[in-house]
Amino acid sequence: MKVLVPVKRVLDFNVKVRVKSDQSGVDLANVKMSMNPFDEISVEEAVRMQEAGTATETIAVSIGPEKCAETIRTSLAMGIDRGIHVKTDAEVEPLAVAKILKAIVEEEKPELVLLGKQAIDDDSNQTGQMLAALLGWPQATFANSITKDGDSLTVGREVDGGIQTIKVSLPAVVTVDLRLNEPRYASLPNIMKAKRKPIDAKTPDDYGVDISPRLTTLKVAEPAGRTAGVKVADAAELVSKLKEEGVI
């Protein structure tokens, strides 16, 4: 089974995010960037599938500026076989990403696309679903466990109230959740080997995809700071306050 693993370069989860003064977005200048943590989990799962003999080849894809090659390189150091870097400096929305991935899927013909359920920068949680729809493939989102039997996958999904187990036939799109696995640390020899693994450089044009945004960002603002609370004397006052505020 060939596995495609899209990886996104995002603000490192440790970085304190600052909104640009003109409220056009967040400030990405001179801040540390890393692989989206959910994508690290899909990379780990793909590598484990390969180690278990379930996956025959693993390919990482990243869409974005020059530096995304580093993110691909990180996945190669973890054990992914090769990379495809679709270069663009423009902002790519989930739909554009899904369209590019669809084109890559048609070229590479993987049986499984394994990706993070969402990226920690925009929290869209859309790409996997859109890709499945565009391809007409079954999808299993928020995967907590994945097992392959024959031509299908059994996927445990994290849902409110527990785990839902579903079966999807291959080919399929699976988005992974936090508890699927714990990503490994790349070994030093593998970091060095990653340098020699191939990364194909492409552009959105190569796939004939129009990536122009469909959404307009009006304003990005910091969340309002918490305002001071009030003390209530007893439960009765609390209930009446809550009613006043229209909460209950």
Partner 1 sequence: MPTYKAPTREQKFLLHEVLELSRFSELESFKEADPEMIDAILEESAKFSEEVLTPLNRVGDEHGCVRNDDGSVTTPPGFHEAFTQMRQNGWMGLSADPKYGGQGLPGVLGIACGEMTSSANMAFTMYPGLTGGASKAISIGGSDVQKDLYLPKMYTGEWTGTMNLTESHCGTDLGLLKTKAVLQDNGTYKITGEKIFISAGDHDMSDNIIHLVLARIEGGPEGVKGISLFIVPKFTVDADGNVGAANGVTCGSLEEKMGIHGNSTCVMNFDDAVGELIGVEHKGLRVMFVMMNEARMGVGMQGLCQSEVSYQNAVIYANDRLQGRSLTGVKNENGPADPIIVHPDVRRMLMDARAFNEGGRAFLYWLALQEDLEKYSPDEKVRERADDFLGLMTPVIKGYLTDKGFENCVNAQQVYGGHGYIEEWGMSQFVRDARIAQIYEGANGIQALDLVGRKLARNGGRALMGISAEIAAFVKENEGDENLKPFMDGLSDAKNKLQTGTMWLMQNGMSNPDNAGAGSVDYMHMMGLAMLSYMWARMAKVAQTQIDAGTDDPFYADKIITGKYFIARMLPQIDAHLAKLHSGAEPVMALAADRF
Residues making contact with partner 1 (CB under 8 A): 14, 29-30, 32, 70, 73-74, 77, 185-192, 194-195
Residue 193 tokens, joined: 């080997």
Burial readout 218-232 (b: 16 or more C-beta within 10 A, e: otherwise): eeeeeeeeeeeeeee
**The pairing of beta strand 199-202 with beta strand 172-176:** unpaired
Element (H, E) at 106: helix 94-108
Judged by CB, which is closer to partner 1: 29, or 215? 29
Question: What separation in angstroms does the CA of 23 have from each of 121, 150, 242?
Answer: 16, 51, 34
User: How many other β-carbons are positioned within 10 Å of the β-carbon of residue 169?
Assistant: 11
Is the distance from CB of 71 to CB of 7 less than 8 angstroms? Answer: yes
Judged by CB, which is closer to partner 1: 185, or 224? 185
Q: Taking the complex as a whole, how short is the minimal distance between the CB of residue 177 and partner 1, in angstroms?
A: 20
Residue 16 tokens, joined: 């304190």
Judged by CB, which is closer to partner 1: 195, or 219? 195
3-class DSSP state for residue 118?
Answer: coil
Judged by CB, which is closer to partner 1: 189, or 198? 189
Q: Taking the complex as a whole, how short is the minimal distance between the CB of residue 192 and partner 1, in angstroms?
A: 6
Q: Taking the complex as a whole, how short is the minimal distance between the CB of residue 244 and partner 1, in angstroms?
A: 26
Q: Taking the complex as a whole, how short is the minimal distance between the CB of residue 117 and partner 1, in angstroms?
A: 22
Judged by CB, which is closer to partner 1: 125, or 183? 183
Judged by CB, which is closer to partner 1: 72, or 135? 72
Q: Please name which of 167, 170, 172 lies closest in space to residue 156, comparing C-alpha atoms.
A: 167
Q: Taking the complex as a whole, how short is the minimal distance between the CB of residue 29 and partner 1, in angstroms?
A: 6
Dmax (CA) of the chain? 70
Judged by CB, which is closer to partner 1: 64, or 110? 64
Q: Taking the complex as a whole, how short is the minimal distance between the CB of residue 66 and partner 1, in angstroms?
A: 11
Task: Report how far residue 73's alpha carbon sits from residue 67's, in angstroms, rounded to the nearest whole number.
Answer: 10
Q: Taking the complex as a whole, how short is the minimal distance between the CB of residue 71 and partner 1, in angstroms?
A: 11
Task: Tell me the β-bridge partners of 148.
Answer: 153
